[in-house]
Amino acid sequence: MSASVNGNGADPVASRSLLSVRDLRLGVGGEDSGFEPVVGATLRADRGEVVGVVGESGSGKSLTMRAIAGLLPPGVELRGGAIDVDGIDVATASKAQLRKLHGEKVGMIFQEPMTALNPTMRIGTQIAEAARAHHDVSRAEAKRRAIELLGRMGFADPENRYRLYPHELSGGMRQRVVIAIALAGEPGLLLCDEPTTALDATVTMRVLDLLVGLASEFDIGVIIVTHDLGVAARICDRIVVMYAGRMVEEGPAGEVLRRPRHPYTLALLRAVPTRDSTIQDLRAIPGSPPRPGDDLPGCPFAPRCEFAEPACLGPVEVTAVGDGRMTACRRHEVLAGMVSARG
């Protein structure tokens, strides 16, 4: 594949920033009667970096990804905040800009991989058509690019594999085809929503290593949504922790996982210890996450939090705590003292 795969003509001295999401609010069912499944998602991604988004089921990870791609499901609306993808303001984008966003700026791998493939069409043709949808190239050139992408995805003999149908491939190979389709428009940002859920452990690691390789080789930003902190620890440069539709903590992956600055991150780590973590005891998180629509004026984690004090029921502010880290916990210093004393 040519070095132009990121295709955005990036000036090497220009900003490395690719994505900025600030205080994103998404609503369902009208301002008065509905609820807000996302009420304060803030995240960013730079070129060449792999960002992990972690959090329990229902925390708003997938909706946040769909909002970035300008592909919110029917009935879910953008109510506030700002999304900037490589200079495009997604909230106010024109139809022409949104067309540019899909595929050319942002490639997306959805949580349900099989729905991304057409079972009746050869895999190579599906990749070539994705390339032609975004770039004015001949059929022959699109085919050449598709074969190149298949090779890049680790397919031996890509000229012949080009002709296979999805059902002739293993789950891991199918997911590689899905990634190739997402890359065919040469996007600068690749959003991967639980890209390995259906794969076994060995194939998962191969697919994840492939994504990390793409980020550095083609200088694209990769965001990976995952439940698995072990995965996040292994492949991510930075981690964003979401809880109840909010960003609660963000920072360099090693720091966040070794020295969490939000009790929810600590609770996640205790529930699923990682090899790199210094926190060894395995405990379930007490209580349950808030339901969408619950009225939560203060910290949404406070009812489950062992560090909570009465002030935690008041307004929450996201605070910078050094080393490029942010936390939404007002008790983060207490937590930092406790974690470093243990570690």
Ligand X SMILES: Nc1ncnc2c1ncn2[C@@H]1O[C@H](COP(=O)(O)OP(=O)(O)OP(=O)(O)O)[C@@H](O)[C@H]1O
> Would you say 109 and 190 are in contact if contact means Cβ atoms under 8 Å apart?
yes
Using CB atoms within 10 Å of the CB of residue 210, give its burial: 0 to 12 exposed, 13 to 18 middle, 19+ buried.
middle
| Number of helical H runs and strand E runs in the chain | 11, 12
Question: Among the candidate windows 72-80, 93-101, 148-156, 274-282, which touches ligand X by CB under 6 A?
Answer: 72-80
With binding defined as CB under 6 A, does residue 59 bind ligand X?
A: yes
Window 47-66: residues binding Mg ion (CB under 5 A): 62
DSSP 117: S
DSSP 75: T
Window 281-320: residues binding ligand X (CB under 6 A): 292
Q: In whole angstroms, what is the distance from residue 168 CA to residue 162 CA? A: 11
> Pick from Mg ion, ligand X, none: which does 60 bind, CB < 5 to 8 A by kind?
ligand X
- Chosen residue from 75, 87, 213, 287 binding ligand X by CB under 6 A: 75
DSSP 175: H
With binding defined as CB under 6 A, does residue 158 bind ligand X?
A: no
Pick from 250, 142, 129, 233: nearest CA to 181: 129
> Would you say 68 and 243 are in contact if contact means Cβ atoms under 8 Å apart?
no
With binding defined as CB under 6 A, does residue 60 bind ligand X?
A: yes
Q: How many chain residues bind ligand X (CB under 6 A)? A: 15
Question: Among the candidate windows 50-58, 92-100, 268-276, 296-304, which touches ligand X by CB under 6 A?
Answer: 50-58
Q: In whole angstroms, what is the distance from residue 285 CA to residue 112 CA? A: 27
Pick 47 or 61: Cβ nearer Mg ion: 61
Pick 226 or 274: Cβ nearer Mg ion: 226
Pick 126 or 226: Cβ nearer ligand X: 226
With binding defined as CB under 5 A, does residue 226 bind Mg ion?
A: no
- Chosen residue from 2, 33, 57, 280 binding ligand X by CB under 6 A: 57
Q: How far is the CB of 27 from Mg ion (least distance, A)?
A: 18
Pick 41 or 184: Cβ nearer ligand X: 41
Q: In whole angstroms, what is the distance from residue 337 CA to residue 331 CA? A: 10
> Would you say 244 and 308 are in contact if contact means Cβ atoms under 8 Å apart?
no
Pick 213 or 293: Cβ nearer ligand X: 293
Q: In whole angstroms, what is the distance from residue 131 CA to residue 142 CA? A: 6
| Interior/surface letters 261-280, b for 16+ CB within 10 angstroms, e for the rest | bbbbbbbbbbeebbeebebe
Q: How far is the CB of 191 from Mg ion (least distance, A)?
A: 12
Pick 182 or 312: Cβ nearer Mg ion: 182
With binding defined as CB under 6 A, does residue 34 bind ligand X?
A: no
- Which stretches of the chain bind ligand X, using CB under 6 A? 28, 37, 55, 57-63, 73, 75-76, 111, 292
- Which stretches of the chain bind Mg ion, using CB under 5 A? 62
